[in-house]
Amino acid sequence: MRLKPFLYTIAFFTSMTLSAQIEESKLDQLVESTLKTFNVPGISVGIIKDGKVVYAKGHGVRAMSNKKEMDNSTLVGVASNSKGFTCFALAMLVDQGKLNWDDKVRQHIPEFKLKDAWVTEQFTVRDLVTHRSGMGLGAGDLMFFPEADFNVSDVLKNVGHLEAESSFRSQFAYNNNMFIIAGEVLKRVSGLSWEEFIETKIMKPVGMTNSKASYNRVTDKSNIIEAHTLADGKLVQIPHDWSPLANPAGGIMSNVDDMLTWAQFLMNDAVTAKGERLLSEKQFHELWQLQTPLKVSANDSYNSNFKGYGLGWFLTDVKGGYKQVYHTGGLLGTVTQFTMIPDLDLAIVVLTNQMNGAAFTTITNTIKDSYLGYEDRNWLDKLGRNNTEWYTYNDSLKTVVFDQVAKMKNSAIIPKADAIVGAYKDVWFGKVSITQSGTDLRLLSDKSQTLKGSLFPYNATTFVVKWDNRSYDADCYVQFSFDETGKAVSATLKPIAPVTDFSFDFEDLKLIKQD
């Protein structure tokens, strides 16, 4: 669908007023209320409707530490909204005849190898970017989340050790490491790094003048957020944490102005403001075609008939069958949402500096509802209650666990320290050590050095690790297996509460004792 050409310039963003069903003052009030309800320091919001930017503002502050105002130019890590750029770049290579979506990955990366030999040989570039590998949710994400000492060669080697949870191409399971490998395909085929390609071949011609393909490529940090999250129930500011290894999965830094430019370009059929077509109609059409289906819930809020994943984008239909193209993104301390309904020439961008997705959902759904003709469904109250109940539930689980830990402190049934102390190794994650200092037991990772914490007994075979970095919200059970002499031979980990981000991929670890 060819929509109206660009009718705006960045210079006029902040002077535009909302021209549709929701008044600007009411939207201002909604965002301010959202900040308070979900304890978010700063949010920036942008809307395009009928070829015009009708809203582009920041609210709150960039960082708790400096209290500088968030605005439409404030840089934020858009996280997995980067995946659409990766697929657009691959599509450009398809246009150039250098690549096909159904090329086998091994044509371009001969050392690519998965656990199953047949799957290895059949795995295509399309499979890399459609979350249907057969591996579990977030498989292998500990190689970059939190930031760790792994590189692309490590990823290519280590995915061969990750177990499948379903048959190949049968189920959707979100996978960042396949996008890292897709970025390596882009590099080997184009001769440019992923970062160079994204910035020179896409961002520059599109007009995304302030965006960078990676945090470490941002030279001017005078207007950039700091990350925030809840740590033991208290909002705290945390350091930026993102490994450049995973840039093709989520590394882009951008702002509302530039993300609206990206949206306008996409809704203009991949034609820039200067009239340059960057992608053929055929390949652009391919990006938004359903590749991996997902279930639609019986009580879906938008009366959707289908849902699934395309090439770097989630796809669904909303009220009346309007096609919606969208994605979300999450880093440690920030979450974002990017939504387009091309049939309505509508795009909504929400960027935040706190990792609570209910905040962006509140804003996006309220704006979307106004254009779709829904009566006010009060998403703020609904999601605010859900958010409170969610954290209360997770806190209750943690309380039960740590109450049990307190009871076990001097129990005779807990394993002796010398039975578990030593070096352990996971085939893909590497060495993990359990050490003792006085009465304190510590768990430390060689490759992910910020992943360290204290061990506390839970029962006769299980301890709980309480991570030093409380912002992770990812405390785990550590369950040991013992030999006939009572010495530990292996250990597995499992989060104690569902609030733990799926990228803390502890459950795929199989730690084998080395000494």
| Spatial CA neighbour of 283 closest among 93, 23, 121, 496 | 93
Structure tokens at 97: 């005849």
**Average pLDDT of the chain to the nearest whole number:** 95
Average pLDDT on 116-128 reads: 98
Q: Is the pLDDT of residue 8 over 80?
A: no
pLDDT in tens, 400-440: 999 999 999 889 999 999 999 999 999 999 999 999 988 89
| DSSP element (H, E) containing 42 | strand 42-49
Q: For the packed helices 24-37 and 379-407, what is the interaxial angle rounded to 10 degrees?
A: 10
Q: What is the rounded end-to-end Cα distance, in angstroms, of the chain?
A: 63
Side-chain-side CA neighbours of 410 within 13 Å: the count stands at: 0
Angle at 18 between CA 14 and CA 21, to 5 degrees: 165
Q: Is the pLDDT of residue 460 over 60?
A: yes
CA-CA distance, 90 to 246, in Å (whole number)? 16
Structure tokens at 222: 């005078």
What pLDDT does 410 receive? 86
The DSSP code sequence of 320-341 is GGEEEEEEEEEETTEEEEEEEE
- CA-CA distances (angstroms) from residue 89 to 23, 182, 184, 345? 37, 10, 12, 23
Cα dihedral sign, 62-231-241-339: negative
| Spatial CA neighbour of 170 closest among 213, 195, 135, 134 | 134
Strands 488-495 and 42-49: what pairing?
unpaired
Q: Are 379 and 361 in contact (CB under 8 A)?
A: yes
Q: Is the pLDDT of residue 4 over 70?
A: no
pLDDT band at 14 (very low <50, low <70, confident <90, very high): very low
CB atoms within 10 A of CB 467: 19
Angle at 311 between CA 310 and CA 312, to 5 degrees: 100
Residue with tokens 């979450």: 335
Side-chain-side CA neighbours of 228 within 13 Å: the count stands at: 28
Average pLDDT on 234-244 reads: 95
Amino acid identity, residue 339? T
Average pLDDT on 264-268 reads: 98
pLDDT in tens, 71-116: 999 999 999 999 999 999 999 999 999 999 999 999 999 999 999 9
What pLDDT does 16 receive? 40
pLDDT in tens, 38-61: 999 999 999 999 999 999 999 999
Q: Is the pLDDT of residue 272 over 50?
A: yes
Average pLDDT on 168-195 reads: 98
CA-CA distance, 472 to 353, in Å (whole number)? 15
Q: Are 28 and 34 in contact (CB under 8 A)?
A: no
What pLDDT does 22 receive? 86
Q: What are phi and psi of 44, to 5 degrees?
A: -115, 140
Structure tokens at 428: 């893909």
Give the alpha-carbon dihedral of 223, 13, 53, 215, to 10 degrees: -20
CA-CA distance, 68 to 65, in Å (whole number)? 9
In sequence order, the β-bridge partners of residue 61 are 69
Structure tokens at 256: 């509302």
Q: Is the pLDDT of residue 13 over 80?
A: no
What pLDDT does 118 receive? 98
pLDDT in tens, 275-333: 999 999 999 999 999 999 999 999 999 999 999 999 999 999 999 899 999 999 999 99
What pLDDT does 3 receive? 39
What pLDDT does 133 receive? 98
Average pLDDT on 236-255 reads: 96
Q: Are 94 and 100 in contact (CB under 8 A)?
A: yes
Ranking 6-15, 180-189, 392-401 by mean pLDDT, the lowest is 6-15
CA-CA distance, 319 to 455, in Å (whole number)? 51
Structure tokens at 220: 């001017």
Q: Is the pLDDT of residue 15 over 70?
A: no
Q: Is the pLDDT of residue 397 over 70?
A: yes
Q: 395: Cβ–Cβ under 8 A, 6 or more apart, which residues?
A: 233
Q: Is the pLDDT of residue 9 over 50?
A: no
| Spatial CA neighbour of 76 closest among 365, 355, 364 | 355
| Spatial CA neighbour of 78 closest among 209, 310, 247 | 247
pLDDT band at 20 (very low <50, low <70, confident <90, very high): low
Structure tokens at 408: 């076990």
pLDDT in tens, 149-161: 999 999 999 999 9
Average pLDDT on 327-348 reads: 97
What pLDDT does 44 receive? 98
